[in-house]
Amino acid sequence: MRPALTFQTNNFCSDYSGKTCCTTEADSQIQNLYDGLTIPDASCSAFIKATLCSRCDPWGAHLFGVEELEARTFPVLCDDYCTSFYSACANVNINWPSGQNPFNSSNTLSETFTTRDSFCSNYGPISADVACYNGTVFVPRPAPEPAAGSSEICIEQIAKSDSVNKALKLVDPNDGTNRLFIAFQSGSVQVLNRTSGAFISNLLTVPTFNNGEAGLIGIATHPHFSVNGLVYIFWSSRSVPTTCEDDDWCNGGTCNNGVCGGSFYMTNIVDEYFVANGSNTATPARRIMTIAKPFNNHNGGDLTFGPDGYLYFGTGDGGDANDPFNNALNLNRRLGKILRIDVDGSPLSGRNYTVPSSNPFLSSKFPEIYAYGLRNPWRMSFDPFNPAYLLVGDVGQDFVEEIDLVVRGGNYGWPKYEGTAITRTKTGASAINVTKPLDPIIQYFHNQTGSQGPAVIGGYVYAGSRDPCSYGKYIFADWTNIMWSSSQSSAGSGSFPFNVNSRYISRCTGDNCNGYGAIAAFSVDANQDLYVLSINGVYRLVEPSRCGITCTAQPQTSQTYSTVSDLGGLPSLPPSGGASSTTGSGSSPSSPTATVSSSSNGGSVEGTSVVDNGPEASTVASPTTTTGDRDESTSSASVTIFSAAVLAAILAMLS
């Protein structure tokens, strides 16, 4: 069973009661602070209370800058809310406790900040990609209802089979150029015109070790690619050594001039490349990470940026059978893990990246570890309707293929567990203290596929407009040319009922319908169009009518998440549940509500939203946080509302 989240009753910050991890103790701390202020004006008092209670917001860590080197003692206020706050409190005399006066020596806001602009330039939105608080509580939009109609889909081939053999990942740079970048196992990334299906250029090539499961495996574009032109790839080499400092697989070897002298078979590499504006050629920028491993297989290798702006990627257990060195459960090795890093922060010593401060294992040798106990995570994606849902396909060994809902600090059991089953009591594995891991949300057994050599291919929740009958469904596959879909049973449940005998049957339209063969991966573009990558070509999901398929579902217009939320501030473990080969179940952390705002003229234009689909999503409301629009150069000193001791106590309770 999955451990249940504890949502406590809050008497003071009651808007958050039963829907946040803000503890009763934290609630009391906030109330004691508020009661000591003795605010004489009712309107200002309401603003102060709401702002203090915003620390209980599911995004409180982001609002108060917990991810930053110096946490703020006052949340970032959205533009309109900042204006209203100032209007209500500017001339109110507040009896601040000793040492906690936010206005220096003054008791009124206007004595320190004579205008609204001077106040909001300090405490208003910092930039368009930073969350801010607007003081409101919204009832979340429910997850999309499972679409009625056909279990068939229509696909068209957009790239010819002889050009794209072993295409493993497609990404959309989303820069207005109509290009797609496609990574090939052989070591190249090709630029494709999505309309004509013609390959324009070779973006980059690496001297990868292309053998079996190794090669150029993953690619991701930076969320702000149109501005910074950054691309990230995951590839394998037998000629690139790792340094002793950054190596978790020296196998007892020694350091020779800083290079590991131990025995390892191969190195997995994450590199950053730069693409100039409009260019079809990438140049190397920096090496992000190298990971040595003892065998050729089980590399993982998928890369994706989360809605928090951090880079997530999976690593396999190092290969061979049965994880002979227990890498997946060992927090002193990066093999068999989901890793999370910040490629935008100031690099740590010896690393070309920063580790988010909300990662769960900061005291371990490798604090970039986000989740562990995985065998070979092959393709992962975030649910566009539930941004806290990181869905990962983990390839099994003897019996089970699984889809995991990966959460911060989650243990998924391999090699002690394969799916929900205990695998063995091998001495080495049993020597590691393993509690019952988190169950997969979907699993199926090898003998249920009717094929030899099954291997799960993680997919995507479809949010495109071409096929209303697939809208809201999680579409995934098996290497043996089988495709399925599953829909979340109810908003926020994390339960994805699944019947192994209910398959997605694909028909093909157009001139190139020679069968896609073994499915290697799925991808989506900026329009949320779904692509199927196989050993025979690249295919796109299109309108059912083009294949003569009847679909009675009506097109839906959705608002999906952007990249402003801080998943590090969300609950780490989902409510109870499990999985079976017929119906998978489980849950995920709740997803806070947010609105993305952006404009070029300093205004605030409401854009895409993140919805809260928590355990009681039909009735639970979450306060809204929105992103503002101000140049970072205008930020200045913080306001002190909490004393250091009170702030530390509250942060400890919320962590």
Pairing of strands 417-418, 400-406: unpaired
Buried b (16+ CB within 10 A) or exposed e, 33-61: bbeebebeeeebbebbbbbbbbbbbbbbb
Q: Cβ–Cβ contacts within 10 Å for residue 603, how many?
A: 10
**What CA–CA distance (Å, rounded) separates 276 from 214?**
29
Tokens representing residue 400 in the block: 């089970």
CA distance to 169, 376, 482, per residue, from 450 (Å): 27, 22, 10
Helix (H, G, I), strand (E, B) or coil at 547: helix
pLDDT value for 9: 67
Q: What is the β-pairing status of strands 167-171 and 417-418?
A: unpaired
Beta strands in 276-310 (DSSP E): 282-293, 303-305
* Helices 42-53, 79-89: crossing angle, 10 deg rounding: 140
> For residues 240 and 231, is the Cβ–Cβ distance under 8 A?
no
What's the burial of 95, exposed, middle or buried (CB within 10 Å: 0-12/13-18/19+)? Answer: exposed
Asked whether the CA dihedral 246, 251, 254, 260 is positive or negative, the reply is negative
CA distance 451 to 457: 15
Give the integer Cα–Cα distance in Å for 526 and 79.
28
Contact present, 469 and 462 (Cβ < 8 Å): no
Does residue 239 contact residue 281 with C-beta atoms inside 8 Å? no
Q: Are 365 and 350 in contact (CB under 8 A)?
A: no
Which pTM was predicted? 0.66
The answer to whether 20 and 26 are in contact (CB under 8 A) is no
Helix, strand, coil percentages (3-state) for the chain, rounded to 5, are 15, 30, 60
Classify residue 548 as left (phi > 0), alpha (psi -120 to 50) or beta.
left
Which DSSP state fits 350?
Answer: T
CA–CA gap between residue 610 and residue 593 (Å, rounded):
5
N-to-C CA span, the chain: 23
Going from the first residue of the chain to its last (655 residues), give the mean pLDDT of each consecutive group of 10, the final group possibly shorter. 45 73 77 88 92 76 52 76 91 80 72 88 66 60 43 87 72 95 94 90 93 91 95 92 59 54 75 96 96 88 95 94 90 95 86 93 94 97 91 93 95 93 56 72 86 87 94 92 88 81 82 76 96 90 92 74 38 36 31 26 26 26 31 30 39 36
In Å, how far are 77, 179, 220, 272 from 229, measured between CA atoms?
A: 31, 13, 11, 10
Phi/psi at 63 (nearest 5 deg)?
A: -60, -35
Alpha-carbon distance values, 9 to 14, 28, 632 (Å): 8, 11, 37
Helix (H, G, I), strand (E, B) or coil at 279: coil
Contact 31, 53 (CB under 8 A): no
pLDDT computed for residue 517 by the predictor: 75
Task: Dig out the tokens for 522 from the structure.
Answer: 């799925």
CB atoms within 10 A of CB 127: 17
Peptide bond into 437 cis (omega under 30): no
- How does DSSP assign 172-236, residue by residue? ---SSS-EEEEEETTSEEEEEETTT--EEEEEEE-----STT-SEEEEEE-TTHHHH-EEEEEEE
Which residue(s) pair with 382 in the sheet? Answer: 390
Cα separation, 369 vs 391, whole angstroms: 17
Query: In the chain, what are the domains?
Result: 14-140+631-654 (no CATH), 152-547 (2.120.10.30)
Q: Which two tokens stand for residue 281?
A: 């050629």
Q: Show the beta-strand stretches assigned E in 467-550.
A: 474-478, 482-486, 505-509, 519-524, 530-534, 537-542
pLDDT for position 179? 96
Residue 489 identity (one-letter amino acid): S
| Beta-strand relationship, 337-341 and 311-314 | antiparallel
